[in-house]
Structures are given as C-alpha cells and as structure tokens.
Structure 1
C-alpha cells in the first residue's frame, strides 16, 4: 500500500488523458443525462465538454480574472483609498471596504487595529502605502499549512471525508478531486456515503467511471456508516491509494444529523481506514453564514480544511479571512469556475493580490 507523506498539487495545464472507447461512451451518457450537482443551482457536467477539455487543455485564467466579481464590489473604495492621504475618514473607508468584502466585523476590526499600529510605527502617509501594508498583513494572516495529506500508518487506507450542507457543490467537488488524483497516478475509490439521495450516488458513479476510479455504494436509505466501512475494506483489498467519501448534506443546526456524521467519522477511522482529511465544502456566495456552518462541522467531524466553491461567482471572498482567523481552519481548495480544472489549490498571495492589488 503506497503511503505518501504529502500530496503535492501541481498547478499546470492538464495533459491529454484517456480518449478510448470507454471514456467516449461515458461522456456520451453524461451528455444525454447530465450530471447535476447537489442542487439545480450547481453547474452541470457535460461529458463531451469534459473530454474536449482534457484534449484541448486551454490556458487557465488568472486568479484576478476569476475574482473579478469580488473585486468589482470594492474597486471604487480601493481607488478612493489609493488616491488619498491617511486620515480618520480613510480608516473608516477601509473598514467599510473589508466589511463589504465579507471579511466579517470582528475580523475587520482586528485587522484594522493592527494595521493602525503598523502605520504608526512605519510612519505611513499615503493610501497606497496603507494598502501595501494591508496586503502584507493579510498574506501573513493566511500563512499556514495547506497541503492535502494521505499520510497514514502502515497498512491503513487514507480516507478523505467530504462534509457540508446540501447545495454547496460537495459531490461535484469530490469528482473534480478524484480527477486530479487519478491524473497524478493514484488509485482512487469513491464512496457514496449519501444514501438518502439516489441522484447523489448516481452522480458519483458517473464521475468514477469518467476518472477510472473504483466505486462503492449501498442501497438507498442504508446506514451511511456501513457504506463507508465497506468502502474502506474494499479499498484495502484492492490496494487503493485513497478513499474519497461523500456524506449526506445536512443542516449544521440539526443535532441528530450531526451526530450521525460523527458516527461516520468514527467508523471511517476503524480497522483498515484512517481519516487524514475532513474537508468541509462551503459555498462562497453564502458569506458569513458559511462561518456558522464551519463552526458546527468543525466540532462534530474534526474538520481539517475548507473547500470553498463558487468563489468566482461571489462578491464575498472575504469569508476566507473570517474562517481562518476565527476557526483556525485552512482553506485548501477553491472553486474558480465550472470546469474540472477550476478546483485549485488556494494560494494566499494570489488571492490577496487579486482582491486588493493595483489595477
């Protein structure tokens, strides 16, 4: 069993992959019966488009291009600060800018207070200098370990659990992660732990076929823990490198459902399996509500990182700072589009520059 200390995520154009008869047939099936995400709001996966993406591998747009909506929401205030001198009104404008970006009130006040001290010590005078100091401070605030791990004890199967409420793009995110992992040469098994929605298992199975990944599902309404247990045992027998486990979407304030999730977490850690990542999928467009979700899931399931979807379609990218500041949870992956190459590593420097950098 291959045990990797750390899985490096490579930012590069994807190479041409399997275009054999099986992939073509799967693509045709998906085109006829498109894969829907957790809700109708999520992007649909077209098989022919996916296969064409793998063949053509167009250049990946920059983080700045992808975050144009979030930047547009604060661009006027940024320009106002850039063109002025530091004053009491400018500090107010800066606070409004950060709150508008959905950094959160508490996180904003803390950031501005520290920035005031920096401005005093460094004798900053202009808005441009102030924004430069803000960017440096934010990059430092976001400096933490983000690499996804498959490090487990010898003989154990690495398990990644994906958790979150319905409608955030959880199952689609699993499929995109599976694609990346299989492209890197790992053997992957997808576990359909959402037994309450047949559509979720069907969607995951199509992703598995498209990625040449193994797949395990249970009957509709079956105990999710038993599906995860069977998946881990199957992965052990087949010498699979990592299990990606879906779980049923649940509201973070429903106690019985959260207790069930805790049980799934415990079962996944038994016998042959070892949970090394619990990834909470959050829709960036929900803003600060995503923070309350993260708090509950972190306590119940031992969340190790955040997958922030739909960041390109949100004006609320500041949730990144609130989650990391208040919960100490790193954002590990971000969704910057509908394509399967648009779920990427979160790069703090690129993110801060895209949000607050010069035009």
Structure 2
C-alpha cells in the first residue's frame, strides 16, 4: 500500500465522524484483501492447479492488455498484470440514491478524492444496510453489483475472478474501460468520467476485434451494442419524462402518482421492444427489481455523454493520443465550462 495513500486515508478518517470512520475502515480492509489475493498472471497461468478455462482467459486478457498499451495508448502500468480471486460473485456493490422526486444522485465526497454519485462496498450486506437506511429516510435506492473497479493508479489493480464469468470480448471491454479511468480522471464529474471510459471501451473493442480478424465476433458484438443502445434510449426517454415531471409545478401527490404511471408505462414499452427482439430476455432483470429514480439515474452517468465523446474522437479523426489530450484539457476546466464545451460538440 502506498505511504501517500495511507497518509490521505488517515487524514480522511480524522476528518470524518463515526460513520465515516467505519466506512473508511471497511474500504481499507477490502482493498487490503484484494492486494493480498493478487498473484502475477504468468504465475497463475503456469500453475498446474489453475483450471484450463481460467488459464485460457488470462492468456486472452494478457494479449488484450498488450494491445491496449500498444494500439489504444492506454497506461503501461502495473495494473491488470495480476489476478485476484476474491471468492465472491462480485468485487463491489455500489449504492445509488436519489430523492423520491428527483433524478439528482446523492453525492458522497471524500477529502482529496472528490465526489462520486454512489458509495461502494466490498461486502453486499453493508451495501444493503446503507440502502435500507436511506430508503427509510425517503430516498429511492439501488444496489448495483460490479465485477471490477479502478483505483486510478493508486494501486496495481488486478483482474478479478468475476470478470472471467463474462464472454471473452466482454472481459477485454472491461479491461479497456478500467484502463481509461486510469488514463484520465475528470474530478467530481461521474457522468463525464464514465462516458469517457465507455467511449474508449467501445472504440477499443472495435479495433481489437478488427486486429484479431474476427469479423463474425465483431458483427455479434455490434448487434449486442445496438441492442444495448436501443434499450438505453428507451430508458433515457422515460428518464426525460420523469425529469420534466419533477421540474413541473404540479403537486407532490400528483407527481408521485404520475411517477408510478410513467414507470409502469416503461415496463410495458420494454415488453413491446422485447417482442421486436424475438423474445431476447437479456434485460429482464431490470424489471425484476422495483424500478425507481435510483435505478434510472446511473443510466445517464454511463451513457449520456458517450455521443459527445465520440464526436470529440471523430473531430480528431480517430487519433487517440489527440483525443486524450483534448479530454485532459476538459479535465482541467471547471464543471460549468466543461459541460458547455461538451454540449457544443453536438449542438443539434
């Protein structure tokens, strides 16, 4: 663990109350567990006890990692050169919260690290406990599991065992996404951060599959991406309806009733969309939980600015170093000016 990080963590704890002390203790213990479980990927591959499927996937990830450094100009750091089996289905559980009549995500702020629109836990029970507390206070809440996360270069982040459950191309996509976070961080701007990383992920997968001459996989991945985009557009449309409702002058009682109607309408619209996909059920899990603002709010975080960053990449003729330089310039701006510059990329 880096001495500088320990100092920052100690200062953060001193500046926090009892609840913050407990959270920072949990975060430090979880990060320590990840560090202690790390093994160099070549060592895991060479170990005769390693299952063949794990060995093959780690070899694939090694090739994708080398490509990310060479062709995508992502960081050549110590991250993703090791493997950590945390013996659970996900690494983190992220708690999102919004007011009952707003899509504005609750922010958790940390000294030196800025603010985020979620709070992450290494233990699902702790995440559910916080979610229950917030729900009792009247917040809409959503607990989202995550197979990976980035410390943005503070540690040598490993590949986590949950990543290996996904198809090979998805594990490469996750790798590109997390390395993008390590490349550039836009402070206090979760939406821009995630949309930037998603843009790098999509472009990285496209170039990776082209280099591998796997056109059939590229076509299939493109089909999934188009389906993802269609589903996201559906969610964003109803998210916009909710935003307009909450901004209106109607009574609270009316807004609550209309909120239920809009969310029910969203479910019906999804069933119609599903029929057009010949019954593809990949998004059914969205509707097995109770739909609320907190479920829809992160959709904008991960996708809303992707067209803007894609336009910026196109503006630089696909030149990734020039694109990164432009994003770094955005990262130096205050939030208001950054938003103005991003929105100007797609004035229509």
With a CA cutoff of 8 Å and minimum separation of 6, indicate the structure with the bigger relative contact order.
1
Give yes or no for TM over 0.5: no
User: Which of the pair is proportionally richer in strand?
Assistant: 1
Q: TM-score, normalised by structure 2?
A: 0.25
Q: TM-score, normalised by structure 1?
A: 0.24
User: Which of the pair is proportionally richer in helix?
Assistant: 2
